[in-house]
C-alpha cells in the first residue's frame, strides 16, 4: 500500500509531460499558421503576376 501511495504522490515526471504538451500545442499552432500564411502569400504572387501580364499586353 505504501508503494501505491508513493507512486501517486510522485510527480517528478509531471513537469516533463507538461513541457511536452506545451511543445505539441505550439507546434500545431505554428503549422496551422504556416498553412494560412502560405495560402495568402500565393494569392499575393498570383495577383502580382496577373497585373504584370495585363500591363504587358
Q: How far is CA 29 from CA 16, 21, 35, 37, 38, in A?
A: 20, 12, 10, 12, 14
Q: What is the mean pLDDT of the chain?
A: 86
How far, in Å, CA of 14 to CA of 17, rounded? Answer: 5
pTM of the model: 0.54
Out of 3-7, 14-18, 47-51, 52-56, which region has the weakest mean confidence (pLDDT)? 3-7
Residue carrying C-alpha cell 502560405: 38
How far, in Å, CA of 11 to CA of 41, rounded? Answer: 46
Amino acid at each position: 500500500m505504501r508503494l501505491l501511495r508513493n507512486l501517486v504522490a510522485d510527480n517528478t515526471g509531471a513537469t516533463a509531460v507538461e513541457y511536452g504538451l506545451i511543445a505539441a500545442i505550439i507546434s500545431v499552432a505554428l503549422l496551422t499558421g504556416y498553412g494560412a500564411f502560405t495560402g495568402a502569400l500565393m494569392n499575393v504572387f498570383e495577383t502580382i503576376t496577373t497585373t504584370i501580364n495585363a500591363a504587358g499586353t
